[in-house]
Structure 1
């Protein structure tokens, strides 16, 4: 796959993978190994998580179309090698903030809560609920 052309997206949005369409792969281990590696890559490349999840659903009986979808993810990774999350020991800090107001809404006396989590200086997750 080193000489394969690159793609701009990890998956075609209109494609629908199906469990019974196409020929079964003669050796499922190659597909399973590839998808296992892609699952590991998701730790530093969250942009492929959705696509990898889709192909990982067919690990028990992979077909040709599933292998093509997994190879497309590899072609996307080949064109975006400079993307990703970098973790440097000692430079990474996580900070979280939360707040709760029990029964604070004057109209219906419902509680309100929220939290924010930052990794470095970037907001990575948040929630606000009533």
Structure 2
């Protein structure tokens, strides 16, 4: 992937991945889990911009296929194009600022929503996460409320 063509986003817009029911021997030989482990480390330590993509790909550790492998390689192509990005903290008097969002029922497998939050201090992120919600939200308001609850718990911590 060192000679790959960079892309502007870690996820192709409109991509819908589904669980693979049967895997061929060739697909089982793909180092998908190893790549995902490395990407997870990056997303939790220094790259909040890939958190959603990695969280989404992590759902398919036991049921991945060629399309999942292609999506994971797209994250690598995104990282190739953004290798100069980093976390920057500047002298700033702004208080701790947090942002929370949710998407309602976007997982086609179980209709659960995704939650994401980020907290900024001195112009840089200090805490972030993106994960699937634990329960099924019955409305967009309920999905946003559950996301806000996760964000508030992190803010209190």
Measure, in 2, the Cα distance between the counterparts of 1:79 and 1:22. Answer: 34
TM-score when normalising by structure 2: 0.54
Measure, in 2, the Cα distance between the counterparts of 1:47 and 1:69. Answer: 15
Matched ranges for 1:79-118 at <5 A: 79-85=81-87
Q: Give 2:132's aligned residue.
A: none
What's the Cα RMSD here?
Answer: 2.9
Q: Give 1:32's aligned residue.
A: 33
Measure, in 2, the Cα distance between the counterparts of 1:63 and 1:47. Answer: 24
Measure, in 1, the Cα distance between the counterparts of 2:17 and 2:120. Answer: 35
Q: Give 2:66's aligned residue.
A: 64
Equivalent pairs, count: 100
Residues 48-87 of structure 1: CA deviation (Å, up to 9, x unaligned):
0001111111011211100000000000000000112258
Larger CA Rg, structure 1 vs 2 = 1
> Runs of 5+ in structure 1 lacking a partner?
97-116
Q: Give 2:138's aligned residue.
A: none
Kept in 2: contact 1:21–1:63 (CA 8 A)? no
TM-score when normalising by structure 1: 0.65
Greater share of residues in helix:
2
Q: 1:21 Cα shift? A: 7.2
Given the superposition, is the C-alpha separation of residues 62 and 8 from structure 1 closer, same or farther in structure 2, using an over 3 Å criterion? Answer: same
Is 1:11 the equivalent of 2:14?
A: no
Runs of 4 or more consecutive aligned structure 1 residues displaced over 4 Å after TM superposition: 21-24, 123-127
Kept in 2: contact 1:44–1:86 (CA 8 A)? no
> Runs of 5+ in structure 2 lacking a partner?
97-118, 128-150, 153-157
